[in-house]
Amino acid sequence: MLEIKCFDFGPFATNTYVVSDEQHILLVDPACSNQYEQQALCNYINSLVNQSVCSPVILATHSHLDHLWGAAWATEQWQTPVLMHEADIPMAKAMQDQYTLFGVRATAQPFPVEPLNTSTIPSGIQILHTPGHTPGSVCLYWPEEKTLLSGDTLFRMGYGRTDLPGGNMAQLISSLDQLFTLPPDVKVYPGHGDFTTIGAEKR
């Protein structure tokens, strides 16, 4: 049985998710941007670690800065890299370019990153490559739980923007078509905003 905890973090109100069961802890999109948010996330994950005696795996649905504010801190905290689709790794390694684009007056802190694949995550999760918002955007799908973490590909009554570097509307439309083949009662946990279902968004 999955337990999903959502934190609303950072200046872009990004959803950071901690997905856990009896054997695994996944930290998805570490967006914590200050010490208060870091402490709240740390306290929650450490409470899970104490119960299950396992360390979190850190994943990113894509490499935009608002989903990775806390990546350097999280990778140091739990001594593990951020896993993301290989197509987004170059963007993650050039994070300062995004800081400049968005006018963030800070120095981007580097963090370790490795390719996301089925051998690096717990079984039972399907990685759906859904480019369009970024070249390496992914959704995480648990078929048995009818649960989808959609990143910035699909929102409640919306979808990800494609006017940023790497965005592609044709690819995003194809990715949405892919998601709309999932059962209508699949619950969708997006990168921003409220939860929804595939059926509600397909209409």
Closest among 196, 184, 182 to 130, alpha carbons compared? 182
Q: Which helix (H) or strand (E) covers residue 115, if one does?
A: strand 113-115
Mean pLDDT of the chain: 94
Arithmetic mean of pLDDT, 144-159: 97
Could you identify the residue written with the tokens 């054997």? 23
Instruction: Give per-residue pLDDT as tens, 72-129.
Output: 999 999 999 999 999 999 999 999 999 998 888 889 999 999 999 877 788 889 999 9
pLDDT interval class at 183 (50, 70, 90):
very high
Q: Alpha-carbon distance 179 to 151, whole Å?
A: 12
pLDDT interval class at 52 (50, 70, 90):
low
Work out how many domains the chain is built from and give that number.
1
* pLDDT attached to residue 53: 58
Can you give the CATH number for the domain in which 78 is found?
Answer: 3.60.15.10
Range of the domain at 42: 3-202
Whether 54 shows a pLDDT value over 90: the answer reads no
* pLDDT attached to residue 40: 97
pLDDT interval class at 20 (50, 70, 90):
very high
Q: Alpha-carbon distance 188 to 196, whole Å?
A: 5
Arithmetic mean of pLDDT, 126-140: 97
Task: Name 152's Cβ contacts closer than 8 Å, sequence gap at least 6.
Answer: 61, 62, 64, 67, 133, 134, 137, 160, 161, 190, 191, 192
* pLDDT attached to residue 23: 84
